[in-house]
Amino acid sequence: EGQSRAILEAMSCGIPTIATNVIGNRDTITNNENGILTNRNSEEINKTILELNKNAKLRNKISRNARSYILENCDLKVVMKKTQKEINLLIKNE
């Protein structure tokens, strides 16, 4: 899937997001800044959820940064500009 739509939607809503530390997620999430990356095992995921639940300051920071990331990188106007630049490069290089 590349960038997980569910993660992007959660971040857009300002929901503090926990995701496994795999390529697509690392492209979107900066650990402990706009989300949390964790290992792919249930113990580590559970531990991360409990830690985030206890830390309101981190939850609020991640929430704000996640929403900002989406607005700056995933807004339709931003995506359309990036896409148009890529199309223009393709046309130019033909």
- The upper half-sphere exposure of residue 85, i.e. CA atoms within 13 Å in the direction of its Cβ, equals 6
* Angle between the N-to-C axes of helices 56-73 and 42-54, in degrees from 0 to 180, rounded to the nearest 10: 100
The overall average pLDDT reported for the chain is 94
Overall pTM > 0.85: no
Reduced to 3 states (helix: H, G, I; strand: E, B; else coil), residue 31 is strand
Cα–Cα distance for residue pair 14/59, rounded to 1 Å: 10
What tens digit of pLDDT does each residue of 55-85 get? Answer: 999 999 999 999 999 999 998 998 899 999 9
Cα–Cα distance for residue pair 18/15, rounded to 1 Å: 9
Is residue 37's pLDDT more than 80?
Answer: yes
Using alpha carbons, select from 56, 48, 55 the residue that is nearest to residue 19: 48
